[in-house]
Amino acid sequence: MENIGFIGFGNMAQALAMGFNASEKGSSYRIFAYAPNQKKLKENCSRIGSVPCASLGELVSKCDTIFFACKPYQIEGVLGEIGKDLEGKQLVSVAAGWDYERFAGLIPETAKIQCIMPNTPVSVSEGVLLVAEENNWDENEREELLNLLGSVGRVVELPTRLMNAGMAVSGCGPAFVDMIIEALADGAVKNGIQRKQAYELVCQTLIGSAKLQLETGIHPGELKDNVCSPGGVTIKGVAVLEEEGIRSALIKAIDVCAK
Ligand SMILES: NC(=O)c1ccc[n+]([C@@H]2O[C@H](COP(=O)([O-])OP(=O)(O)OC[C@H]3O[C@@H](n4cnc5c(N)ncnc54)[C@H](OP(=O)(O)O)[C@@H]3O)[C@@H](O)[C@H]2O)c1
């Protein structure tokens, strides 16, 4: 795995390419990309430091590891054009709704396919990369892929049947968290804090709280209790959030996305 190719070079592919380039592991690979709008592709490649390809065929001939990063509905068309050239290639799909089985019927038998679901924070090496357990990659090559993915975030392996539930959290979740960041910052601004400082306070509070939970493994309810002194300020805010249904709103959002 020396040359990595992206079929489609939009938001997700660029986030991955930026993350790979910034990491020690990822920067040892050459990154190629193809997208139909060549002017836009060349601009994006020169900004990110990857190599633009003039055609799908050129990308496939130069790369042994190929990421499918176009829109899910475009994959069948791409496979129709280059399917037979994928003999022996290592394929990684980031497309929502595509799993191992769906690919297996459409690619050559010798092609390897691994479905993953990254999220956009991979661009700053803090992504979540869901990796479906079902795959036909050789063990050593898959380990190399997982190392590469691990260089831009936390790799979590899931059975295929749970990929949608996982994606509801890590794929859709950044939008929910961004709404929470914006709302908490609005509260800070309402109380006189400058907007820029408000985002700084909110984001670091989120990072710190998340890191504390991940590193200690302490139940989030206990971490919350540790901040709520009896009769104090925080528990009054907690009571307001309960009254407004924050928990059930978030559970319902994950539920609807998972379905
Ligand atoms: N965005 C996310 O947060 C996220 C998270 C997880 C997974 N994903 C998955 O990532 C994939 C891409 O999503 P995105 O948000 O990055 O979309 P996007 O920004 O719209 O990018 C789509 C890319 O596909 C290219 N493309 C269009 N037609 C093509 C074709 N026939 N052959 C090859 N490439 C073609 C587009 O090129 P032109 O601009 O030249 O048309 C563009 O570079 C999707 O499958 C999605 O499910 C996205």
74 and 190 in a single domain? The answer is no
- The verdict on residue 43 lying in a domain is yes
49 and 108 in a single domain? The answer is yes
Integer angstrom CA distances of residue 102 from 131, 191, 233, 246: 16, 52, 53, 37
98 and 217 in a single domain? The answer is no
Residue 93 dihedral angles phi and psi, to the nearest 5°? -110, 135
pLDDT band at 2 (very low <50, low <70, confident <90, very high): confident
141 and 25 in a single domain? The answer is yes
Residue 221 belongs to a domain with what CATH number?
1.10.3730.10
Would the CB of 174 count as within 6 Å of ligand 1? no
Last-in-domain residue among 159, 190, 208: 159
130 and 209 in a single domain? The answer is no
- The verdict on residue 165 lying in a domain is no
216 and 108 in a single domain? The answer is no
Determine what percent of the chain is predicted with pLDDT higher than 70: 100
Last-in-domain residue among 133, 159, 185: 159
- The verdict on residue 168 lying in a domain is no
Which range of residues forms the domain containing residue 152? 3-159
Would the CB of 69 count as within 6 Å of ligand 1? yes
115 and 140 in a single domain? The answer is yes
Over the stretch 225-244, which tens digit does the pLDDT of each residue have? Answer: 999 999 999 999 999 999 99
Residue 33 belongs to a domain with what CATH number?
3.40.50.720
Would the CB of 17 count as within 6 Å of ligand 1? no
- The verdict on residue 189 lying in a domain is yes
128 and 69 in a single domain? The answer is yes
Looking at ligand 1, which residue's alpha carbon is closest to its atom 39?
37
Chain mean pLDDT for the chain: 96
Determine what percent of the chain is predicted with pLDDT higher than 90: 96
Would the CB of 172 count as within 6 Å of ligand 1? no
- The per-residue DSSP string of 64-110 comes to SEEEE-S-GGGHHHHHHHHGGGGTT-EEEE--TT--HHHHHTTS-TT
- The verdict on residue 166 lying in a domain is no
Over the stretch 57-102, which tens digit does the pLDDT of each residue have? Answer: 999 999 999 999 999 999 999 999 998 999 999 999 999 989 999 9
Number of separate domains in the chain: 2
145 and 211 in a single domain? The answer is no
Looking at ligand 1, which residue's alpha carbon is closest to its atom 46?
95
10 and 125 in a single domain? The answer is yes
What pLDDT was estimated at residue 1? 64
